[in-house]
Amino acid sequence: MRGIAKSFLGVRVLSGVNLEVAAGEVHAVVGENGAGKSTLMKILAGVHSPDEGSVEIDGVSVSFAHPVEAQRAGVAIIYQEFNLLPERSVAENVFLGREPVRRGLVDRTAMETDTTRLLKELGETSFVSHDLVRHLSIAQQQVVEILKALSQDARIIVMDEPTAALAEHEVELLYRLVARLRERGIAVLYISHRLREVFDLAERVTVLKDGALVRTADTADITSDELVRLMVGRDLGTYFPPRGTETGEVRLSVRGGGNAVLDGIDLQVSEGEILGVAGLQGSGRTELAKAIFGAEPFTRGTMSPLRPRSVRQAVAAGIGLVNEDRKAEGLALRQSVRDNALLVSRSVRRGGRTDIRELLESVRLQPPRPEQEVRYLSGGNQQKVVLAKWITVAPKVLIFDEPTRGVDVGAKAAIHDLMRGLAKDGMAIMMISSELPELIGMSDRIIVMRDGRIAGVLPAGPSEETVMHLAAGEVTP
Amino acid sequence: MTERTLTSFSLRRKVTGSTLIIYLALIGVLLIGWVLVAVDGGNFLTLETVVGIQQRSAALGIVAVGQTLAILVGSLDLSVAYLISLTSLVAAEIMAGQDSGILPAVAAVIAVSALIGLVNGLVITRLHVHAFIATLGVALIIKGVVDHLYDGPSGSVPESFQRLGYDRLGPVPVSALLWAAVAVAAWFLLRRTRLGYRIYAVGGDEEVARLSGVRTGRIIVATHVLCSICAGIAGLLLAGRLGAGAPTVGTDGGYDLESIAAVVLGGTALAGGKGGVPGTVGGVLLLAVLDSVFNQLEVNAFFKDVVRGVVIVAAVAVYARRTVRRRSR
């Protein structure tokens, strides 16, 4: 890709960007949200066409008017939000739009055998070609996306934040998949916020900032600090805000809590404390949050200040939850920042007045435009709106489920600061995260979930290995 | 190994949960009806009632098969009732009592309905009008034209064509065979053709389909053409039964909302992408059996509607529960 430029409605989002990737190479593309990564990839995938510049594949200049043309030229893109039909089978999804035909009819046998062959080549045995996609885990669905790309004979595969929704052990599987793709001579463009993955997987890395190319470098020649500096354009210094020193009285305690998924939950969170919750996907982390929040309540055990039977009770008792999936459960995307930020306070309090400007400033929403529809905000800003929503009612306990998923480095640091600030002001905070460095950097204590139970409690600053061993249920060496 | 996988594949897919439920419900209603009528001193499963059920369901069944396609693609069609009236008139006027008029009339009906379907589809895809409003608007346009031109039955259908409405082979009326043919054709289309696969894809998630290279607009238009043609075939059938065309035959039968009710009763998701023809056939039969039971018991017509309403809402609530439970796992 050479000299790519693109503007939307007069706003320049890309200018003079060059990018090349060789067969069998994994090339990482990093940059903050809004740096133009996605736009660049969408140009490659034929979703947008560039205003300036050219795209060449194997030395032949191409221009795509439609994603399908890009697919035919061997470019496949795997979006963060999967393009799969939950109600159709794996094979039907893999061949969507390209169903093989024999004598005018869809050749189902060919679809099934081809999909099965690809599954075997990838060494994937946890599901079969006729399973409905709805029944698959997120990691498995990602494999389906990769199958889809392979069945199109893709030679260039773009992966947009492939690990954003994966738990740690699933990331390992993804690494293996990417290695297989590389062996097949496929060029992989790997977009990620997680620098560790960049160094683990990629041979080269390209940094974008504000729509322009900052640098392309071999990963061997660059350190992660340098990379962060290039992305953000400033030194982030210590990545995490310093821990608090004082914890006050216990704000939340659960004794022997359980429901259909959870069992024997004992925990306490105090004023000023950030309690980290680790665990693999499916370990009951999110369910724990939902139980405390009254969305899928505990049916056994005791909890103080009270064991909520509904969300409304929990909110009234001063418990808030920043959901894992902010788009589906945290925000009304088509409504304004104001409406979203005031949602909780309107439903709980009567006649309470909040200064919206002050509120938006307190969560450092930039720019603080209350009338904007939240769907136009970046991931980081959306998360700040969710946070604002809770701050209005000043909860005593605030639970964060994956607070920085899909959020860029700058906004991530801002959210971490905000969380620490809330704790300092006396809030008790629980934080669920799949990202171990974040969890370890932020938490004052960490509980590790496994199979719906608490597998262990760790003091501040454990090693990643310790947490993983507990989470995976292996004996610590 | 492959062999086994494939059989289990087709079996699993043939009888999905919702379809099974609707047929179990159908059997249940037949049994209850049989008992009730027997208690009442009648005989439920006579040749007469069986034929009656089939005849009653044939026209609705054909419309509902078309409606199934429209709903699966994520759309719906409120213009079918007026289109049925219009096509019954077109058929009867062109036939004008002559056998020689049958072929041109059938051709004209297909052409008119295809055209209406095309308009529906284009308004939805090109003008980006929601299907509800688009087809409601087209329905009103057809109504205006028909009401302006006719104020009562018109045209005449020759004897030979009326046999479509009343003849039967043994216990099976010709009209039911026609319905079965339409249903099998649609089922085959959905299961074995690319168009069918793409109808599911577009209804499941239009953006996903588009990004997979499906020309979603064309699929929606094609589906609406097929849906309207089904309504046209129902118009032909009703013209055959009446011996003439009638400007109110479609709306009197309530074919618009009733066809949608039959489709959702059969387990097809109103949002599209999930369901199919077998469920719809079950839904139509269930409504017809209910009708038949109430007729034999000579129940008040208003009470009949109350029960139908309850059945439809209850069925959809059952499907919703199943989806919720599955999702929460």
Q: Over 80: is that where the pLDDT of A277 sits?
A: yes
Minimal CA separation from B294 to chain A, in Å? 37
**HSE-up (13 A, CA, CB side) for residue A398:** 27
CB contact under 8 A, B6 and A83: no
Average pLDDT of chain B, as a whole number? 88
CB contact under 8 A, A130 and B12: yes
Beta strands A156-160 and A75-78, pairing class: parallel
CB contact under 8 A, A84 and B208: yes
Which residue is closest to A86 within chain B, CA to CA? B204
Residue B200 pLDDT: 95
Domain A2-232 shares a fold with domain A250-472? yes
The encoded tokens of residue B16 equal: 């999905």
Measured CA to CA, the distance from residue A99 to residue B219 in angstroms comes to: 15
Please name the residue ranges forming H helices in A159-221: 168-183, 195-201
pLDDT digits (tens, 9 = 90+) for B220-268: 999 999 999 999 999 999 999 999 999 999 999 899 999 999 999 999 9
Q: What average pLDDT does the segment A160-178 reach?
A: 81
Per residue, the 3-state secondary structure of chain B, as one string, reads CHHHHHHHHHHHHHCCHHHHHHHHHHHHHHHHHHHHHHHCCCCCCCHHHHHHHHHHHHHHHHHHHHHHHHHHCCCCCCCHHHHHHHHHHHHHHHHCCCHHHHHHHHHHHHHHHHHHHHHHHHHHHHCCCCHHHHHHHHHHHHHHHHHHHCCCCECCCCHHHHHHHHCEECCEEHHHHHHHHHHHHHHHHHHHCHHHHHHHHHHHCHHHHHHCCCCHHHHHHHHHHHHHHHHHHHHHHHHHHHCCECCCHHHHCCHHHHHHHHHHHCCCCCCCCCCCHHHHHHHHHHHHHHHHHHHHHCCCHHHHHHHHHHHHHHHHHHHHHHHHHHHHC
Confidence band (pLDDT; 50, 70, 90) for A229? confident
Residue B58 pLDDT: 94
Query: What interface predicted TM-score (ipTM) does this complex get?
Result: 0.81
Spell out a b/e string for B150-171, using b for 16 or more CB atoms within 10 Å of the CB, else e. Answer: beebebbbbeebbebbeebeee
CATH class of A2-232: alpha beta
Which of the listed ranges A231-240, A269-278, B47-56 does the model predict with the highest average pLDDT? A269-278
Minimal CA separation from B211 to chain A, in Å? 6
**Integer CA distances (angstroms), A226 to A20, A221, A382, in order:** 21, 10, 28
- The structural domains of chain B, with segments of one domain joined by +, span 18-34+47-328
Residue A475 pLDDT: 46
Q: Over 60: is that where the pLDDT of A231 sits?
A: yes
Comparing CA positions, the residue from A89, A161, A87, A86 lying closest to residue A127 is A89
Q: Contact, B69 vs B263, CB < 8 A?
A: no
pLDDT digits (tens, 9 = 90+) for A96-154: 988 999 988 999 999 999 999 999 988 888 899 999 998 888 888 989 999 999 998 88
Comparing B185 with A348, which gets the higher pLDDT? B185
Question: Could you give the maximum distance between any two Cα atoms of chain B, in Å?
Answer: 65
Residue B199 pLDDT: 96
Residue B109 pLDDT: 97
Q: Residue B194: list chain A partners with CB under 8 A.
A: 99, 101, 106
Q: Over 60: is that where the pLDDT of A474 sits?
A: no
**HSE-up (13 A, CA, CB side) for residue A384:** 29
Note the CATH architecture for domain B18-34+47-328: Orthogonal Bundle (1.10)
Q: What average pLDDT does the segment B49-73 reach?
A: 92
Q: Residue B205: list chain A partners with CB under 8 A.
A: 83, 85
Residue A235 pLDDT: 44
Residue B36 pLDDT: 85
Residue A4 pLDDT: 67
Q: What average pLDDT does the segment A211-223 reach?
A: 84
Contact of A88 with chain B, judged by CB distance below 8 Å, is answered with yes
Output DSSP code: residue A426. Answer: T
CB within 8 A of A430, min separation 6: which ones?
Answer: A252, A269, A274, A275, A276, A277, A289, A292, A397, A398, A399, A400
Contact of B5 with chain A, judged by CB distance below 8 Å, is answered with yes
**Matching residue, tokens 């205006």:** B144
Comparing CA positions, the residue from A106, A107, A108, A128 lying closest to residue A117 is A128
- The structural domains of chain A, with segments of one domain joined by +, span 2-232, 250-472
Residue A116 pLDDT: 94
Q: What is the CATH number of domain A250-472?
A: 3.40.50.300
Residue B122 pLDDT: 97
Comparing CA positions, the residue from B263, B231, B270 lying closest to residue B74 is B270
Q: What average pLDDT does the segment B308-321 reach?
A: 86
Residue B4 pLDDT: 40
Q: Over 90: is that where the pLDDT of B282 sits?
A: yes
Minimal CA separation from A51 to chain B, in Å? 21
Q: Over 80: is that where the pLDDT of B168 sits?
A: yes
Q: What average pLDDT does the segment B133-139 reach?
A: 97
Output DSSP code: residue A39. Answer: H
Measured CA to CA, the distance from residue B296 to residue B292 in angstroms comes to: 6
Burial of B41: CB neighbours in 10 Å, binned 0-12, 13-18, 19+: exposed
**Integer CA distances (angstroms), B267 to A305, A439, B23, B307, in order:** 45, 45, 11, 19
Considering only A95-99, A244-248, A427-431, A463-467, which range has the smallest mean pLDDT? A244-248
CB contact under 8 A, A88 and B204: yes
Q: Which of A106, A129, A134 sits opposite B193 (nearest CB)?
A: A106
**Matching residue, tokens 């979703």:** A47
Measured CA to CA, the distance from residue B193 to residue A123 in angstroms comes to: 31
Considering only A181-185, A224-228, A295-299, which range has the smallest mean pLDDT? A224-228
pLDDT digits (tens, 9 = 90+) for B83-125: 999 999 999 999 999 999 999 999 999 999 999 999 999 999 9
Output DSSP code: residue A132. Answer: B
**Matching residue, tokens 């404390």:** A273
Give the pTM: 0.76
Q: Which value, in Å, is the radius of gyration of the alpha carbons in chain B? A: 20
Which residue is closest to A47 within chain B, CA to CA? B211
Output DSSP code: residue A147. Answer: H
**Matching residue, tokens 């075939």:** B233
pLDDT digits (tens, 9 = 90+) for A385-442: 888 888 887 888 999 888 887 777 777 888 888 888 888 888 899 999 877 778 888 8
Q: Over 60: is that where the pLDDT of A237 sits?
A: no
Residue B16 pLDDT: 59
**Integer CA distances (angstroms), B111 to B114, B117, B225, B269, in order:** 5, 10, 10, 30
Output DSSP code: residue A47. Answer: S
Contact of A96 with chain B, judged by CB distance below 8 Å, is answered with yes
Share of chain B above pLDDT 70, in %: 92
Residue A304's DSSP bridge partners are A253
Q: Over 80: is that where the pLDDT of A444 sits?
A: yes
Residue B202 pLDDT: 95
Comparing A186 with A325, which gets the higher pLDDT? A186
Q: Residue A67: list chain B partners with CB under 8 A.
A: 210-211, 213
Q: What average pLDDT does the segment B53-82 reach?
A: 95
Confidence band (pLDDT; 50, 70, 90) for A220? confident
Q: Over 60: is that where the pLDDT of B14 sits?
A: no
Q: Which of A86, A92, A105 sits opposite B192 (nearest CB)?
A: A105
Confidence band (pLDDT; 50, 70, 90) for B129? very high
Average pLDDT of chain A, as a whole number? 82
Residue A69 pLDDT: 84
Confidence band (pLDDT; 50, 70, 90) for A248? confident
Comparing B6 with B20, which gets the higher pLDDT? B20
Residue A1 pLDDT: 62
Contact of A260 with chain B, judged by CB distance below 8 Å, is answered with no
